[in-house]
Amino acid sequence: MSHGHWTDVARAVGLLAPDGAVSSTIFAEMSALATRTGAVNLGQGFPDVDGPAHLKAAAIAAIERGDNQYPPGAGIPALLDAVATHQRRCYGLEVDPATEVLVTAGATEALAATILALAGPGDEVVTLEPFYDSYTAAIALSGATHRTIPLRPTPEGFRLEAADVEAAFSPRTRLALVNSPHNPTGTVLTADELSLIARAAIAHDAVVVTDEVYEHLTYDAQHVPMATLPGMAERTVTISSAGKTFSFTGWKVGWLHGPAELVTAVRTVKQFLTYVASGPFQHAVAVGLADEDGRTGEYVTGLARSLQERRDLLCGALTEAGFAPVVPRGTYFVVADGAGLGYEDAVDLCRDLPKRAGVVAIPVTAFCTPGGEVARQLRAYVRFTYVKHEATLEQAARGLARLGGQGRLGG
């Protein structure tokens, strides 16, 4: 089994041992641990409540109506229009639904198709680090080299520095992939930080690809799309999806928009990955994004408000337990330093947490280049999700309270 790109992918994400054995991901290990111990699973980030009933009804109506065959390759017209409407209403961006929008099987396919279409061997792709795990895999599949800009913990949250941005770009940079609001850190990049990346991209004639799947899940911070910055709409592919915004992660409806020439390039690859996906759900997401009666907007505002309360609950519990949480401004994740609990390596801490606190979480090194500088700096950091019922978070808080004042078990 040593042929094919799968080994490049496995190596890039740190799953290939020197003897060729493939290990499972820390996500799989921690989820299995949660199942085995009955601990509260704050590792995997998906909601435990469905999204709005009127969107479910729209999906059911589409199925009943007979919208069950292949939808058009670019996406159904109503959804293409709704993406354009949403971008104009929320950000003042003018997008041509006929040539500048593409519907995908979630943001994951949009990211993979964009990277495969626009980068290849000899090219470099820049991302923030820590990074969402599918980025490394898609970059490895493309044959390009992955370069990163570290996000560093500061009293003002995880921030990036101008010198790090400059150092990450080179004459070989083809793409800069920017995720804000950022998973795993919960950082919402400021317009100034985005400008640093925009300037570097323009200087190196690179295309910027954005992952904005948490665009509506922000608290005391404003999400700024890269495409709204001067000179950036013409070189930016903007990616988002319905999963996080509408709490329907299983529907897998994503989209991207950008200059027609780039969208054509991505569609050329995308049509041979899934061809099309999620037909009936595209109709429901169109209703949500167009939001003609304001009901979806109300739902999303309420979701963000409730997530902010749940963030505060979990951050308070983590602080009392001896963690140092870096308070997130967006997403539904919080990253916390576990060094105060006597652990140098968050992998050990995460393996002990189910027994000691009845909670499962993920070490932040799972989102870093194995053995790299960022992995070293964030070695004791743990990611928790708070997109769970308040009662579930309260149960987690009671468990975490058992850690307060205890040293590490066994010294």
Ligand X SMILES: *Cc1c(COP(=O)(O)O)cnc(C)c1O
In sign, the C-alpha dihedral spanning 136, 258, 241, 255 is: negative
Task: Give yes or no for residue 288 binding ligand X (CB under 6 A).
Answer: no
- Least separation in angstroms between residue 239's CB and ligand X is 8
Which residue blocks in 119-161 are alpha helix, DSSP H?
133-142
Task: Give yes or no for residue 107 binding ligand X (CB under 6 A).
Answer: yes
Q: Which two tokens stand for residue 33?
A: 């641990």
CA distance 160 to 135: 19
Task: Give yes or no for residue 43 binding ligand X (CB under 6 A).
Answer: no
Which of 136, 148, 183, 282 is close enough to bind ligand X by CB under 6 A? 183
Task: Give yes or no for residue 328 binding ligand X (CB under 6 A).
Answer: no
Which of 26, 39, 82, 132 is close enough to bind ligand X by CB under 6 A? 132
CA distance 227 to 253: 21
CA distance 404 to 230: 49
Element (H, E) at 125: strand 124-129
Task: Give yes or no for residue 108 binding ligand X (CB under 6 A).
Answer: yes
CA distance 403 to 411: 14
- Among the listed ranges 105-113, 189-197, 260-268, 387-395, the one in contact with ligand X (CB under 6 A) is 105-113
* CB-facing half-sphere around the CA of 228: CA atoms within 13 A: 14
- Closest by CA to 317, choosing from 394, 406, 405, is 394
- Least separation in angstroms between residue 29's CB and ligand X is 19
CA distance 393 to 41: 10
CA distance 113 to 244: 20
Q: Which is nearer to ligand X, 243 or 259 (CB)?
A: 243
Amino acid identity of residue 286, one-letter, is: A
- Least separation in angstroms between residue 206's CB and ligand X is 20
Task: Give yes or no for residue 392 binding ligand X (CB under 6 A).
Answer: no
Which of 43, 52, 106, 363 is close enough to bind ligand X by CB under 6 A? 106
- Least separation in angstroms between residue 106's CB and ligand X is 3
Q: Which two tokens stand for residue 32?
A: 């299995």
Task: Give yes or no for residue 47 binding ligand X (CB under 6 A).
Answer: no
Task: Give yes or no for residue 142 binding ligand X (CB under 6 A).
Answer: no
Task: Give yes or no for residue 179 binding ligand X (CB under 6 A).
Answer: yes
Task: Give yes or no for residue 81 binding ligand X (CB under 6 A).
Answer: no
- Among the listed ranges 102-110, 273-281, 305-313, 384-392, the one in contact with ligand X (CB under 6 A) is 102-110
Which string of x and - marks every residue 235-264 that binds ligand X (by CB under 6 A)?
------x-xx----x----x----------
- Least separation in angstroms between residue 308's CB and ligand X is 18
Contact in structure between 42 and 60 (CB atoms under 8 Å): no
CA distances 128 to 241, 286, 337, Å, are 20, 31, 19
Task: Give yes or no for residue 85 binding ligand X (CB under 6 A).
Answer: no
- Least separation in angstroms between residue 37's CB and ligand X is 25
CA distance 393 to 324: 18
Number of residues that bind ligand X (CB under 6 A): 13
* Phi, psi dihedrals of residue 169, rounded to the nearest 5°: -90, 150
Residue whose structure tokens are 């199925």: 63
CA distance 122 to 265: 19
Task: Give yes or no for residue 103 binding ligand X (CB under 6 A).
Answer: no
Which of 123, 124, 133, 211 is close enough to bind ligand X by CB under 6 A? 211
Residue nearest to ligand X (CB): 106
Residues that bind ligand X (CB under 6 A): 106-108, 132, 179, 183, 211, 213, 241, 243-244, 249, 254
